[in-house]
Structure 1
Amino acid sequence: MKRYKDLSPPPRTIMTPGPVEVDPRVLRAMSMPILGQFDPAFTDIMNETMEMLRELYITDNQWAFPVDGTSRSGLEAIMVSLIEPGDKVLVPIYGRFGHLLTEIAERCGADVVTIETEWGTVFDPQTVQQAILQHRPTIVAMVHGETSTGCMQPLAEIGHFCREHDVLFIVDAVATIGGVPFYTDEWKVDAVMGGTQKCLSVPSGMAPITYNDRVERKIQNRKSIERGLRPVGDIPSAVLSGHHRIASNYFDLAQLQDYWSPKRLNHHTEATSMLYGLREGLRILLEEGLEARFARHAENGAAIVAGIRGMGLELFGDDAARLPVVTCIYIPAGVDGESVRSMLLHDFGIEIASSFGPLQGKIWRIGSMGYSSSRKNVLHVLGALEAVLIHHGVSLPAGQGVQAALRVYAGQKEVTYQ
């Protein structure tokens, strides 16, 4: 009989766009004893988690809770519950995850319209506004921060325009929530999906979402019409098309609402230890303070950018749209990008990411998210990358990358974020 060793993962400095290093306090919380899902002590934890998610999303929405599953479960729960066959959905694409939103919408039977811009850039809000006027969608679905390109889309103008034209605006904020400012109510975002494994520094396995009463109304109307009941309030004619049944039981937000409400519908068995971890991650985030957390991520992102430029390497993407928590770097000509990543991992214990799609083999991506976003990690990855590149025959100004980052930390360069 084969004998297996005790689990002992090697220590790593994880500087990828996710997953990232988990705060030890979160891991400790996840080791706490299991409670029954309807134990009053556990439902108190559920209610506290909802309260903290409202603070994270800067919203007064009633509904703010996690969907059990990786980040994609949150995307699917929102989209499957909202989109009916025949609904027109506009997806502005500026990277890989816009294509994912498109695929999910198509699987829901939507009439999907896409507009695209070059990877490494974002949309002028007026371009999206013009597309809304041209195509008259029911829903606009968009990514806030594209980890595939290291770019971040401004949302406020688009959100206000959608509200003025009675279009639902749903946003994938998986890469940004907890790391950069996100103003759900102020930007008129109707539904937002996040993830635990990035800026929240919790293991992958939950997708915190929030949505407003406009979204709830459409969800409840689908439920009412399916059961032959009178719709609630005024709804678009598209909702009366006859395609009312939500395709998924697990991702049915009408049922998930009842689970997270005082009704305590026995919809599923909650992922107890994951909820402990999320609650602790949110507690730590709020203890640090949103503004302080945003500033920390901005400073560390700026230090990486300065360090990469100090080495003489070229950054990918539009500076004006740079995502503070993911830095994309062109692989120098003649360098085997995977050999560099392998040496970083095996000799320095540092993981950075490659890329995919049209950028596969062309760029590296360095993440600086959550617990991984620290001065120690930034200086470590810059020094190690410099050493590995020199080992691979790249001629660069030795020591200048780390010195450039140190100047950022010394306050010799202004740090800004959007």
Structure 2
Amino acid sequence: MSCFGKLFSKLFGFQPKPEFILHSITFKTPESESLSDGDLLWATIDFESRYDCRIWMFSQVKEDELPNGGYMPSDVLPAGRHTIERYFYLNDIDAEKYPNGLTVTGAILSAKSTNNDALYHEVHNINYVYKPFSSEELAQRQTADKDNLNIEFVSVRYDGHILSPNDSISIDSQITVRIQAECNENVRFSCVPLTDLSYGFDPISETVDGLLDLNFNMNEIGDISGFMIKAYNRYDIAIESLQIDFPLKVENWHDDGQDAPITFEPDNLYYANMADENDNLIPVDEHSTIAHNTDLSSYMYLNHQAKHGVIVWIYDMLGSEIGECIFKSSLLSYDECQEDDNPCFIINWEDVDFSENPVREISGFYFQLTNVAGDVLAEQTVEHALTIRQNEE
């Protein structure tokens, strides 16, 4: 994931907490060896945390030096002790400005819990020199993959709701910027909001059939003026950018719909594309075996009081454990849910990984209702044992 020094202060300005213990951090490359532009600098990190958390490691250079570079995306690691490896790198180093190379003076290690609380943030002193490429080779790298590159802004939305300039959004909601791009297969994209507020954003991603959704979320209330979309080539060098002026107001909708009457009752489960001779839906019997790409219709009685709307999430259950998310609804507005409506949601297991086991035994389903800010307003567990088999055709 490419991510630049100017963004680090927005994402990680934290002090260590006792819930996190760093046992050791060991760098694998000897400091006597020079690194080339783009080389990965790996470290082995031994730590333990009382909470599920994410770990990042990124570079520190002199205050007046802001090179391009990136670091390794972090998975969520369960509470406990772990030994993991992480890297960062510098690239696109200006040979004329830094003819003798650029020195990394520190490795910044940060840990955050899954609810965004800072667990650890420390600088570990190191001394590595990144050597630039020649001006000629760097120029070639800076122009790679630029031919016929074109980026067009399409829309901004959250949970399927299209936004207009000067609309409001909530902190902790996922904001999606959609782009249409013409590019070759090596080009990837990122998008960040233009603001002084703190935020989080997705790793850089590649288009599918020319379309790409880029996501971020805001951590503070206030204003954003728009978005900056950047395209990166095969060397993780930014080769194009597109600034979108799109003012939005960030508000706190965490109380929306809480402590208010709610109807949230799952109904029956049917085959989505099957009917009997009387055109009646055919129910899915318990203990049935179905293919992972079979569409099922899940009905629900729903009434809520969240003024900004709600989202329905459906997970399968593995025994008493919540398994994979197999459905997330678009925004269900306040107005369309004032009667005891009976919406239908189409679910299947097409996005579940069956590579390790072609058979998935589920005990039922976990239904969750959240507001836009992600607060759980209601939840239900339904027992309905099924066997899901990967369809290999």
Flag whether TM exceeds 0.5 (same fold): no
1 or 2 for the larger relative contact order (CA 8 Å, sep ≥6)? Answer: 1
More strand by share: 2
TM-score by length of 1: 0.25
More helix by share: 1
